[in-house]
Amino acid sequence: MKCHVPGPNVKVLARTVHTLARFGDELYLESLPDCILLRTLNAAESAYAMIKFNKNFFSYFNYNYYSTEDNEGLKCKISMKSALNAFKSPAHIDKQVESLEMKLDPESCKLIFCLKCKHGIVKTHFVSILDCKAMQAVYTKDTVPNRITSPQRILNETLNSFQTSDDQVTLEATTKSLVIKNYIDSNMDLTKIIRTHVSLDPAEFDNYIIGEETTITFTLKEFRALLAFAEALNLPLQLHFETTGRPAVFIVHNGTTFEAHFVLATSKPDNATQATSTQSTTTKERNKRKDTCNTQGSVKKKRHIDVEFSKCLEEDSHLFNFVDIPDDINLKASNNLDNVKEQIDFDNVIPASPTSRTKIKSVFKRCFESTFDPKSIQGVILAENSDSE
């Protein structure tokens, strides 16, 4: 296989390789009589990408250049990192590269990228072939009941509302609206999650056909990658999907030059399970609060509290619960309280005040003793006796 890519199309090819790198770690290349196919698959096998470059994408194309036999063409698998080294800076590669030559020789087991840059500079990359096989995914896009054609700008602005930590997105398609929201697992703590809900009117899209209303969930990482690819090429995005569990196909094409298919596996969001879990959690918390109220009430509740009044206290309420107590209950409670006061013997309940047993020692105790003789104290007299007056 040997082909030449003109300068403007080198930028498209570089964008393609960088987009496929966000899907998988290996790049499959297959040359056919009328096109070249680039494919990749993510590690979880939940996202598949295939980009087809027709013959008119190249200035020169020969799928069977190194062989005289009319065979099916060549197939190979290379590392995605090696392909990225050959196409660095896709946004500015068209300003440096004038043309690209791709050659695939099965005998040398090398895929050669020869970049002819300005000022006569030639950069050649020899990429080792890991395996000589192709990969093909089975999916349907023409017979699906739901088809949407949208400008990439609308979907990009919609995704700007989502958090970077969101892993999956749920799409609810009805005849009246298209709802896009972040997927929330039932095992997550709902108090620590930001819910995002965006509703789009069918008039926002170029084409909106919903033959069967459904809800699908797919990964957000690959969805952002394919939207970035459509935005870089300024092309609309087509979405073909069926019911839950069937793959959703996103298509970006430029007439007869190239066509890109991005296939994402879908799963059903467990909204019912989530609602049941939320309701169950709320019920458990409510029952727990009720049990706490019952326990505290059994300890602190007095005999004169009426049954109906106690039920009002046990019910779940807001921060403050104002209850109107009937007059007969107030009268009954006051009478019972008077009876309780009469039965209490306050003398037996309240103890007497404790008496102090501490004896005060006098500082001048010796002065008042009968055997005390002041002359026995010898020393300097600091203060003389005062006058008798």
Q: In what order do the strands lie in the sheet with 97-105?
A: 60-62, 2-6, 97-105, 110-117, 122-128
- Kindly list the distances between the CA atom of residue 91 and the CA atoms of 27, 155, 374, in Å, as whole numbers in the listed order: 21, 22, 114
Residues 206-225: tens digit of each pLDDT: 999 999 999 999 999 999 99
The residue-averaged pLDDT of 254-275 equals 76
pLDDT bucket at 346, cuts 50 / 70 / 90 = very low
Give the pLDDT of residue 373.
67
Give the pLDDT of residue 138.
84
The residue-averaged pLDDT of 138-142 equals 85
Neighbour tally for 232: CB within 10 Å: 18
Report whether 264 contacts 223 (CB < 8 A).
yes
The residue-averaged pLDDT of 273-286 equals 42
- Rounded distance between C-alpha atoms, residue 201 and residue 207, angstroms: 12
Give strand pairing partners of 240.
147, 249
Q: In the chain, list all ranges with CATH 3.70.10.10.
A: 1-137, 139-269
The residue-averaged pLDDT of 217-243 equals 93
Neighbour tally for 214: CB within 10 Å: 20
The residue-averaged pLDDT of 363-378 equals 61
Give the pLDDT of residue 132.
82
Give the pLDDT of residue 279.
42
Amino acid at position 243, single letter:
T
Residues 297-331: tens digit of each pLDDT: 444 444 444 444 444 444 443 333 444 445 554 55
Q: What is the mean pLDDT of the chain?
A: 77
pLDDT bucket at 190, cuts 50 / 70 / 90 = confident
Name, in order, each residue with C-beta under 8 angstroms of 78's C-beta and a sequence gap of 6 or more: 26, 27, 29, 111, 127, 128, 129, 130
More confident residue, 102 or 273: 102
Residue 88 has pLDDT above 80, yes or no: yes
Give the pLDDT of residue 95.
86
Amino acid at position 343, single letter:
Q
pLDDT bucket at 186, cuts 50 / 70 / 90 = confident
Give the pLDDT of residue 189.
72
Report whether 180 contacts 158 (CB < 8 A).
yes
* Least-confidence region, from 2-11, 119-128, 235-244, 368-377: 368-377
Amino acid at position 166, single letter:
D
What's the pTM? 0.68
Joined together, the tokens standing for residue 349 give 């309940």
Amino acid at position 177, single letter:
S
Q: At the topology level of CATH, where does 1-137 sit?
A: Proliferating Cell Nuclear Antigen (3.70.10)
For 36-60, give the DSSP string.
Answer: EEEEEE-TTS-EEEEEEEEGGGSSE
Report the range out of 71-75, 104-108, 365-369 with the highest average pLDDT: 104-108
Report whether 122 contacts 114 (CB < 8 A).
yes
Give the pLDDT of residue 185.
77
Give the pLDDT of residue 292.
47
pLDDT bucket at 348, cuts 50 / 70 / 90 = low
More confident residue, 301 or 259: 259
Report the range out of 124-138, 145-159, 268-282 with the highest average pLDDT: 145-159
What class has domain 139-269?
A: alpha beta
Residue 60 has pLDDT above 70, yes or no: yes
Q: What percent of the chain has pLDDT over 70?
A: 67
The residue-averaged pLDDT of 101-111 equals 84
